[in-house]
Amino acid sequence: MTNLITKQGLKRLQEEFDYLWRVERPKVVQGVSDAAAEGDRSENAEYIYGKKRLREIDKKLKQLGGRLKVLKIAPNPPENPNHICFGCRVRYEDEDGNQYCYQLGGPDEFDVKQGVISIDSPVGQALLHRKVDDEVTIHRPGGDLVVYITEISCSILR
């Protein structure tokens, strides 16, 4: 897994970690404590749910904490790149004329709905280091897809 991330992506992960640690976890701990004070815990739905939610938060904090320790902010991509690199926005077209546009980011930033894919994904790997007018074969579980790169631009992710 690539340990690159944009400055904005790192900030979002740190904010999520801080929110869970400083706001969400203390609130859930207080709820569990209050529910435990009510007596029988074996049939106390609030206590049982609270303990489950606390385990989920702790698991997410551990995962985020581990990633935050190893992530490195990627250098800004060149303004006018001649090949696809981290942070670039790529437009490409398949053989049927369908057009796609994605920006290549780190695995911690991917959000297909926002148009950001991971450089570790099959599509990201196939596009990385390619140039405009290159024909690229993307190997997918559902079958290979041949695409043609039509444009490369770079700017800071989201």
What CATH number does residue 124 fall under? 3.10.50.30
**Tokens for 99?**
């057009």
Does a structural domain hold residue 20? Answer: yes
Domain span at 148: 88-154
101 and 67 in a common domain: no
> Which residue has tokens 């043609």?
148
In a domain, 69, yes or no: yes
> Is residue 117 situated within a structural domain?
yes
Query: What is the pTM for the complete model shown?
Result: 0.79
- Distance CA(94)–CA(91), nearest Å, equals 10
Token pair recorded at residue 3: 């340990």
Shared domain for 56 and 18, answered yes or no, is yes
Q: Taking 90 as the threshold, does the pLDDT of residue 101 lie above it?
A: yes
pLDDT at 2 over 90: no
Whether 67 and 111 share a structural domain: no
| Beta carbons of 45 and 5 less than 8 angstroms apart | no
80 part of a folded domain: no
Please give the Cα distance from 124 to 126 (Å, whole number).
Answer: 5
User: Is 43 part of any domain?
Assistant: yes
Is 83 among the domain residues?
A: no
**Shared-domain flag, residues 142 and 93:** yes
pLDDT digits (tens, 9 = 90+) for 48-91: 999 999 999 999 999 999 999 999 999 887 777 889 999 899 99
Choosing from 73, 98, 130, the residue where a domain stops is 73
> Is 79 a member of any domain?
no
Straight-line distance from the first to the last Cα atom of the chain, in angstroms, rounded to the nearest whole number:
21
CA distances from 93 to 86, 120, 129, 142 (A): 20, 21, 17, 18
